Amino acid sequence: MARLVVDLGGTNCRLALAKGGRPLTAVQSYQNAKFTGFSALLSHYLAETDRPVISEMVIAVAGPVTGPATAQKAELTNRGWQLSAQDLSREWGAIPVQLLNDLSALGHSLADLKHSDLAVIHATPHPSAQQSPVVQKLVVGIGTGFNLSPVFADTQGSNCLKSEYGHVALPLDLHQALVAQLGAKAADFTTLECCFSGRGLAALYAAFAPDAAPRSGAQILAASRHNEVTEFIDFYAGLLALLSRNLLKGFLPLGGLYFAGAVARNLLTGPGGSAFVTAYSQRDPKFPDLGAPVFCILEDAAALKGCAGFRFPAA
């Protein structure tokens, strides 16, 4: 018997089997567009893996998870697929089913990630985080959209909080930085996701360099040798550092900031890393001792590992 673990993204779905909380076997990835719904995708996977006996199921979803623990529901934001923990449990033999937001799943993975699964962006640890048995961390996802999950880790495991933080209004200091660079166009960027997402990256570049040819977020990060792109990437990395310093004060993640998602990973491990570290490392006059290390999650199977390590609540 095995736990089925699922990372259901907006475009692709990764599935695997886990036993004993950690090992992943039978890892497969599918394009969501080839299936009419999640149940059809799941049936296809189980048929391809010789129909293993599933004892429980943990699913990370790229979208909000709502409802009490006994009646969870989720919607896959990009496709409109509806998931119900109760329906899935009944369909697959009354097994326990847990739905997690994808950022929460990444939070559960942190304890099991290896050094090779992470890129160290800023290494300075906070002394109190090394001494305390309870450590606060923060997972920040910047890809198609923006979200975060606070993580509280102790000797018993991890607790990961849900949020829809991408819809939070842009902090004043970030707005002021946009006004200084973009003038009246800054009014177009009202929430965190308006700036920190693939679409936000492209929109900010268009406002920053109005005479340049339009580029997607991926094209911007790949064209870092162009002068106007280099200047923009330094500006954008500085904005992300400013946001990170705000998150430090808001969540006190002394155990580390863990970035995930294609935008964050390609920016921080590539052309924007140096500018980010320079801006992030500036001492805050009101909180001179406040700081935390910064990492990028490189492991593509991190959400699956988080689903494998998740502990079901005691009955």
pLDDT in tens, 148-173: 999 998 888 889 998 889 999 999 99
> Per-residue pLDDT for 79 more than 90?
no
Name the residue among 86, 69, 100 with its Cα closest to residue 7: 100
Residues 183 and 287 in one domain: yes
Residues 212 and 241 in one domain: yes
Tens digits of per-residue pLDDT, 36-78? Answer: 999 999 999 999 998 899 999 999 998 889 998 778 999 987 7
Any domain includes 314: no
Name the residue among 6, 12, 10, 49 with its Cα closest to residue 29: 12
Residues 163 and 93 in one domain: no
Span 128-149, average pLDDT = 85
CA distance 54 to 241: 44
Tens digits of per-residue pLDDT, 202-212? Answer: 999 999 999 99
CA distance 101 to 112: 18
Q: Which structural domain range is residue 242 located in?
A: 115-298
Residue 315: what pLDDT? 63
Q: Scanning the structure block, which residue is given the tokens 């999650």?
A: 297
Residue 127: what pLDDT? 66
> Per-residue pLDDT for 225 more than 80?
no
Name the residue among 237, 205, 235, 236 with its Cα closest to residue 219: 205
Contact 220, 229 (CB under 8 A): yes
What CATH number should be reported for the domain holding residue 167? 3.40.367.20
Residue 128: what pLDDT? 61
Instruction: Give the chain as a 3 state SS string.
Output: CEEEEEEECCCEEEEEEECCCCCEEEEEEEEHHHCCCHHHHHHHHHHHCCCCCEEEEEEEECCCEECCCCCCEEEECCCCEEEEHHHHHHHCCCCCEEEEEHHHHHHHHHHHCCHHHEEEEECCCCHHHHHCCCEEEEEEEECCCEEEEEEEEECCEEEECCCCHHHCECCHHHHHHHHHHHHHHHHHCCEHHHHCCHHHHHHHHHHHCCCCCCCCHHHHHHCCCCHHHHHHHHHHHHHHHHHHHHHHHHHCCCCCEEEECHHHHHHHCCCCHHHHHHHHCCCCCCCCCCCCCEEEECCCCHHHHHHHHCCCCCC
Structure tokens at 216: 């997607």
Tens digits of per-residue pLDDT, 248-300? Answer: 999 999 999 999 999 999 999 999 999 999 999 998 899 988 999 999 999 99
Confidence of residue 130 (pLDDT cuts 50, 70, 90): low
Any domain includes 16: yes
Residue 132: what pLDDT? 67
Residues 305 and 249 in one domain: no
- pTM greater than 0.85 (yes/no): yes
What CATH number should be reported for the domain holding residue 67? 3.30.420.40
> Per-residue pLDDT for 129 more than 70?
no
Residues 103 and 76 in one domain: yes
CA distance 259 to 66: 24
Tens digits of per-residue pLDDT, 108-127? Answer: 999 899 999 999 999 986 66
> Per-residue pLDDT for 21 more than 90?
no
Residue 73: what pLDDT? 96
Span 294-313, average pLDDT = 94
Residues 199 and 262 in one domain: yes
Residues 48 and 104 in one domain: yes
Residue 140: what pLDDT? 98
Span 225-244, average pLDDT = 93
Any domain includes 180: yes
Span 82-109, average pLDDT = 94
Confidence of residue 131 (pLDDT cuts 50, 70, 90): low
- The sign of the CA dihedral 55, 75, 42, 21 is negative
Which of 86-90, 145-149, 295-299, 309-313 shows the lowest per-residue confidence on average (mean pLDDT)?
309-313
Residue 120: what pLDDT? 97
Residues 30 and 137 in one domain: no
Residue 223: what pLDDT? 87
Residues 129 and 260 in one domain: yes
Any domain includes 204: yes
> Per-residue pLDDT for 230 more than 90?
yes
Q: How many domains does the chain have?
A: 2
Residue 45: what pLDDT? 96
Calculate what percentage of the chain has a pLDDT beyond 90. Answer: 78
Span 305-315, average pLDDT = 87
